[in-house]
Structure 1
Amino acid sequence: MSSDSGAEGSAAVDIAKAVAAGKLSALAVTEAALARIKVRDPILNAFTDVTAERARAKARAVDAAVAAGKTVGPLAGVPFAVKNLFDVAGLSTRAGSKINRDLPPARRDATLIERMEAAGAVLVGALNMGEYAYDFTGENIHDGASRNPHDPTRMSGGSSGGSGSAVGGGLVPIALGSDTNGSIRVPSSFCGIFGLKPTYGRLSRARSFPFVASLDHLGPLARSVGDLALAYDVMQGPDPDDAGCSPRALEPVTPQLADHIGGLRVAVAGGYFQQNLFAEASEAVARVAAALQLTQTVELPEAARARAAAYVITTTEGASLHLDRLRRRPDDFDPAVRDRLLAGAMIPAPLVDRAQKFRRWYRAQVLELFKTVDAIIAPATPCIAPKLGQATFVLGGVELPVRANIGIHTQPISLIGLPVVAVPIPLQPMPIGVQIIAAPWREDVALRIAHALEKMGVAAAAPPKIS
């Protein structure tokens, strides 16, 4: 078996088919992934834990099942890794923090890890992230910044920065992350890969460390739409261990990928979503609109206010979760995270109530739009990945803090739990992403459009610029 079995150019779909057919060893694929991590991760800093022996044992079990003529899952032998807020049996669930390292090791894997491994996938480790998921940059003061695979001097995005870096850097074909205000879509945009934030309540969050219970989503990142859809498909289903997993999860939607969008009605988000953009973000949306021959524009009502409501709900719910830690160990937080949580703890209750009332109104207004369109196109980030440590950028002639404004276009969507696929547009010198936003429970629509753009060559995961 060649040493590059399962290299970054190989789709997870192809790896699994070859392993299931006995043409490729799951152990060889795993060893190749571990070798890539050893060589590239010192540059990218994507991993906080590498579960090498566990991975080898799982790969051997897959190979034994194939040799015995047993049916193996649709992800047989495919390496994957998870943001370190997922419980991994035997590891303390860091959630990007210093404080959580004192927790006892998890006794059981998160539900989504169990479902990935039931489908034959091989877990190779846990990934770097922003502290307690309150981050858009990928810069962690405890573990160091995860770096961009297209330019290691730039941000990977956050808070699932290690997930974006690991997939974009070709270390693994699939990673799992979380998205509260944009933490899958931002790394996907900066690292030039595909990412899926599913409908709120679609995928189980059981045995993952929370941030904002009413906004948290878990989902996959991958280098192709086919891999993204496959990972999403195997993770679906209800889970009694997650009270937030909707009964609608009983109705899994298998993505039907096609090379065209057929009769789907797609519009471009106007107004707020066409403001405060760097040229690269505008160009990316224009390329998608041209490829799909889009002529309709829709405006999400009060999107700026929706972003403000997302901030209020995020900081207050996050502060409530962390109050005890803030009292006992304030100096062990990243100061930027600590100060925002403290601010959230001081927001008056009537303002939180107003934000929640607005949220309900806004959701109803946006759902009205989906009576006339099937999907909406919008920028994922206002810019390409900023430089590590960059504090500000100028948007609309105003100097703004980077950390607070990277999610300017993702937060109004997260607030009401819509499904989104982020697709990478391979601009030079850096890629940037576009959001494909669908109605609740219609991930299949967003994935179908993403696949069509991939087949057209408009959306593509570019090879990493590291050796």
Structure 2
Amino acid sequence: MIDWQSKGFEIAAAVRDGRTSATEAVQVALARIEATNPALNAFTAVTADRARAKATAIDQMRSAGRPLGPLAGVPFAVKNLFDVAGLATLAGSKINRDHKPATADAALVQRLEAAGAILVGALNMGEYAYDFTGENVHYGPSRNPHDPARMSGGSSGGSGTAVAAGMVPLALGSDTNGSIRVPSSLCGLFGLKPTFGRLSRHGSFPFVADLDHLGPMARSVTDLALSYDAMQGPDAADRWCAQKPVAPSLPSLDTGIAGLRIAVADDYFAATGEPEAHAAVAAFAKALGTDRRVTLPEAGRGRAAAYVITASEGANLHRERLKTRADDFDPATRDRFFAGLMLPTDWLVQAHRFRAWYRARVAEVFREVDIILAPATPCTAPKLGQVMMTLNGVEMPVRANLGLFTQPISAIGLPVVAAPWADRAGQLPIGVQVIAAPWKEDLALRVARHLEKTGIAASKAV
């Protein structure tokens, strides 16, 4: 039997060997959504009829003795910037409600369903993905299941809420500056931001073309690896993903960490943040048997470059909407876009030049180590509506600084697994970034799996 706490790989195994059916798995998910979503506000659309039809088809395949995919019967949901046939692609906005429904699913939705997973709906998010909080003025905030008075994190807040609350075992999000890793940390989940260009972005509403990543969030590393492997492969419709070969991660997932050179990010990543953030990193380092420390040179400026690129390119994407429908934006989002439109062009040019320099310097660090550990967020989940937070005696805006530690990593497209620290009984979750060199997702997943097996990293539905 399965229940709402079951992991995706457990559901798929039970469907394949007949201990349960895909139909039952979908009914469990739909019942959990009905029971918990009204209070937590993760979903903007539930595709119940579609899910039941897909489940019936899978059950018929099994009855006929046909082989089932590795994710057979696993319910999943997607951030509402993914195209879903029959739904308008909201991207968290009021303006996009006027768009015609999508006529086809996004590439990653198609690939997950080809592996047997079953889409059950679209998820709430920060407007146009320009958000770290999970709050949305048009659709309401996605609430943190560990404490509904607190933020889920953003911009993939609905994804974090849905998985942490057991509505689905697997969800897709996007990550431009930290939008998978921040909600994973605040909601106590495993999340994968792959290398820039690894997974197709075709059929997703863009934010910043030079920084956007798509990836999964789950309550187990095995689910991350299964879904990641199912979504891999070149896609001519996404020029950054056009030539990327498949690099399976699952076969090496449980091979351990012997021989891996692991270090902790120092300097910028150790200079601020709540004690819990650094205690989590220290616990992971101890479990991995390392006291080595490394510096990512000029990480702070790397973050600054990401800010300039995000503001300028994100704003230019929305230039016409800002001209004609400015009042239909969240004022906070609108004002940041307006500011982005006023940035001098040479600032953007210099930001890209610096990013190239920074990428080359970090590549030199990865000649000496295989994995780098860093905090995922500087704090646990702030309260909904909280504007400022105090870190090391300094007041900082919440919305901007929840991505303090994630932006310098996504700025150069490194693969990261966000992993939840397990030593949090009765406390709010917080996570750690397990960072690898480009195209080495398998190493980050191996380390996260080792931490999960030893019990230092763990996630559970609440």
TM-score, normalization by structure 2: 0.98
SS in structure 1 at match of 2:87: coil
Quickly say closer, same or farther: Cα 1:75–1:293, change in 2 above 3 A. same
Counterparts of 1:31 and 1:172 in 2: how far apart (Å)? 11
- Counterpart residue type for residue 102 of structure 2: A
SS in structure 1 at match of 2:241: coil
Match of 1:452 among 450, 453, 456: 450
Corresponding residue number in structure 1 for 2:140: 144
Counterparts of 1:417 and 1:106 in 2: how far apart (Å)? 29
Match of 2:340 among 338, 344, 360: 344
Counterparts of 1:70 and 1:293 in 2: how far apart (Å)? 46
Count of paired positions: 459
Corresponding residue number in structure 2 for 1:308: 304
| 1:292 correspondence with 2:292 | no
| Mapping for residues 37-436 of structure 1, pairs under 5 Å | 37-247=33-243, 249-255=244-250, 256-258=252-254, 260-426=256-422, 427=424, 428-436=426-434
Counterparts of 1:422 and 1:389 in 2: how far apart (Å)? 25
SS in structure 2 at match of 1:238: coil
Deviation at 1:462, TM superposition (A): 3.1
CA deviation map 1:176-206 (0-9, x unaligned): 0000000000000000010000000000000
Contact 1:48 1:126 (8 Å CA) reproduced = yes
Deviation at 1:6, TM superposition (A): 3.6
What RMSD, in angstroms, separates the aligned Cα atoms of the two structures?
Answer: 0.9
Counterparts of 1:244 and 1:133 in 2: how far apart (Å)? 20
Counterparts of 2:242 and 2:455 in 1: how far apart (Å)? 35
CA deviation map 1:269-307 (0-9, x unaligned): 000000111011011111101111111100000011111
- Counterpart residue type for residue 396 of structure 1: N
Counterparts of 2:80 and 2:461 in 1: how far apart (Å)? 25
TM-score, normalization by structure 1: 0.97
SS in structure 1 at match of 2:318: helix
* Structure 1 unaligned regions, length at least 5: none
Counterparts of 1:429 and 1:304 in 2: how far apart (Å)? 30
Counterparts of 2:97 and 2:137 in 1: how far apart (Å)? 14
- Counterpart residue type for residue 261 of structure 1: I
CA deviation map 1:308-351 (0-9, x unaligned): 10000000000110000000000000011000011000000111
CA deviation map 1:137-158 (0-9, x unaligned): 0000000000001111100000
SS in structure 1 at match of 2:206: coil
Single out whichever of 235-244 and 452-461 deviates more from structure 2: 235-244
CA deviation map 1:418-451 (0-9, x unaligned): 0000000132411100000000000000000000
Counterparts of 2:392 and 2:27 in 1: how far apart (Å)? 48
Contact 2:152 2:183 (8 Å CA) reproduced = yes
- Counterpart residue type for residue 425 of structure 1: W
Contact 1:259 1:451 (8 Å CA) reproduced = no
Single out whichever of 56-65 and 11-20 deviates more from structure 2: 11-20
* Structure 2 unaligned regions, length at least 5: none
